[in-house]
Chains A and B, each alone.
Chain A
Amino acid sequence: MQEKHIIEEAIKGDKDSFTQLIKMHQTCLYQYLLVRCHSVHDAEDVLQDTFINAYKYIYSYKPGWQFSTWLFTIANRLLKKQHHMYYQNKEVPMITQIAELEKCSIDQTNIWVHIKCIIKSDAYDVLWFYYVEETSIKEISKILQKSISWVKMTLYRSKKKLAVSKKLRILSKDYLMQGIIL
């Protein structure tokens, strides 16, 4: 309810309300961008552009969707543009990406660092939004501009792929042995 009120104020033109929205959503957006971009600098650029575009086009936000869904949709579009512009369909080597993540002291046992080389980027996004952001299938399809059936199928196939990965099973066994319980 509170976020709804802040969004309404932001739509009317209240900059302070929009600043509040930035503070509420910047962390989860930044974490997503860190694993998806090829460098920390790129992640910061996309984060900045996302919020600027969100501010410019806030009148087009439809209240039926979560505000985070709308932000992630904008971020995804900017990511695709960035990838296309800088790399022209060439993949950046995993070593470069991991080295970049080390700069922000991300733990190398973090499973998200390792599944990047197991599954495609679209599937990665689906898993991230499903498990970390706890977004519904419908909202994921809106963010990624894909059909609901595609999202369901991708989720199913990705889980299957991860389940057979030896490396991930070792990682997750270590995690269980540490006694961390949800």
Chain B
Amino acid sequence: MNSIEKKLKTDGKNFNQIPSDAIQDKIIQNLNKQTVNHNRSDPKPLTWLLPIAIAILLVTIINITRNMPVNSAIIAVENNNSELKKENLDQLVVNIENKITSEIENEQMAILNDIKQFNNLFIL
């Protein structure tokens, strides 16, 4: 051990400072005021289960609330999509109806023309 280490050891022991009697009395006086439970009580299982359960619950709630906006957005998009499909279908039906109507009309016109021509044949 070098000289500094030796001095550290001896100087530390040479402080020779003792707390005054007044301080000791004050400490003992304050001790008498304390009401202490001196029985060692081992923690019950619930005391460490409860924080874990609360933590799990909190994490679950956070996950649900975090996903909620996404879910509602997805639902909204799906609703939109279905509405769009419905609109498209309606339009399709209308288009088909119009086509059928026009084709029928064309056929009818064609038949009328044929009848007129037939009539013209007989008149001449």
Q: Which residues from chain A sit less than 8 Å from chain B, CB to CB?
A: 11-13, 15, 18-19, 22-23, 26-27, 30-31, 34, 44, 47-48, 51-52, 55-56, 58-59, 104, 106-107, 110-112, 127-128, 131-132, 159, 162-163, 168-169, 171-173, 175-176, 180, 182
Contact = CB atoms under 8 A, between A and B. Distances in A.
Contacts of A127: 8
Nearest to A45: B23
Contacts of A22: 24, 27-28
Residue of B2, B8, B9 with most partner-chain A CB within 10 A: B8
A175 B113 CA distance: 138
If over half of B's interface residues share one DSSP class (helix, strand or loop), that class is named, otherwise mixed; here it is helix
B17 interface: yes
B11 A110 contact: yes
A169 B34 contact: no
A15 B40 CA distance: 17
Given A31-B15, A132-B12, A168-B4, 20 more contacts: A23-B24, A26-B19, A27-B18, A27-B19, A31-B17, A34-B15, A44-B19, A47-B23, A47-B27, A48-B23, A48-B27, A52-B27, A55-B36, A56-B34, A59-B38, A59-B39, A59-B40, A106-B17, A169-B3, A182-B1
B67 interface: no
Nearest to A110: B11
A27 B31 CA distance: 18
Contacts of A56: 34, 36
A44 B17 contact: no
What band does the interface of chain B fall in when counting residues whose beta carbon is under 8 Å from A? Answer: 20 to 34
A51 B36 contact: no
A143 to B, nearest CB: 16
Contacts of A18: 31
